[in-house]
Amino acid sequence: MISRKIKSQKDYITLIDELIEHDRHYYKEAKPIISDYDYDQLIKELQTFEKENPTLVHPNSPSLRVGEALTKGFKHFSHITPMMSLANTYSEDELKDFIKRISKLLEKEDVKFCSELKMDGIAISIRYEKGHLTQALTRGNGKTGDDVTLNIKTIKTLPLKLHGNEKKIPELLEVRGEVFIHKNIFKKLNEKREIDGLDVFANPRNAAAGSLKLLDPKE
């Protein structure tokens, strides 16, 4: 486990620089050098310091950002609705605090939750107009995303046209989900890359990110 105890503003700035570097490896190069858990612990430490020292929050702090930076080579478009990121936790106490906050917000003690598996991939927003797929955007910075429409169309299980009663198909439909790669396919992909003398992907999530951010969809 990686830990950085922030004892001064200098330590705080050093941690920001370190996290920015980790973001570059993770989002732009798809080659993370620390685990998701270790990264989350560093972010949590950063947020704790900022909460205790709000006047010292630096404008470049990763805590002020949602998602990844926009990618050069792609067109950028605004989301119809901001595309926020999910919060996470590794602590039962934090989960209990979350439930308390929700109960207080809803003014209801008996709150029911629906849980599902979180696929580790790339968040995507797909737009259908009159039943036809017209645009696909990454989360980007939450307000604006990379246009990966041509790349997303290479996913054969994704419908390019919605079928059914045309009268019931909305004029505009925005679908949000996750682009991910199954582990068995990931293994075969890395084996082929190794044979071809290419760098292997660190994990399925980075393989999905790498394929989605190819400037040439034919690759």
CA trace torsion 113, 115, 118, 122 (10° rounding): -50
Q: The CATH number of 9-65 is which of 1.10.10.60, 1.10.150.170, 3.40.50.300, 1.10.287.610?
A: 1.10.287.610
Per-residue pLDDT at 77: 92
Question: Amino acid letter at 55?
Answer: T
User: Which class does domain 122-212 fall in?
Assistant: alpha beta
Catalytic-labelled residue, pool 118, 156, 167, 168:
118
What mean pLDDT, rounded, does the chain reach? Answer: 86
- So where are the chain's domains? 9-65, 122-212
Each residue's pLDDT tens digit, 79-107: 989 998 878 888 899 899 999 999 999 99
Q: Kindly tell me the burial class for residue 126, based on how many C-beta atoms sit within 10 Å of its own C-beta (0-12, 13-18, 19 or more).
A: buried
Q: Positive or negative, the Cα torsion across 10, 16, 21, 22?
A: positive
b/e burial code for range 48-63 (CB count within 10 A of at least 16 → b) = ebbeeeeeebeeebbe
Catalytic annotation present for 28: no
Q: With beta carbons less than 8 A apart as the criterion, state whether 6 and 19 touch.
A: no
Rounded CA gap, 124 and 126, in Å? Answer: 6
C-alpha atoms less than 13 angstroms from C-alpha of 12 in its C-beta half-sphere = 20
Q: In tens digits, what is the pLDDT along the chain, a chain of 219 residues?
A: 455 678 888 889 999 888 888 888 777 666 788 888 888 889 888 988 988 998 888 888 888 765 566 667 788 999 989 998 878 888 899 899 999 999 999 998 888 998 888 888 889 999 999 999 999 999 888 889 999 998 899 888 899 999 888 888 999 999 999 999 999 999 999 999 999 998 888 888 888 888 887 655 555
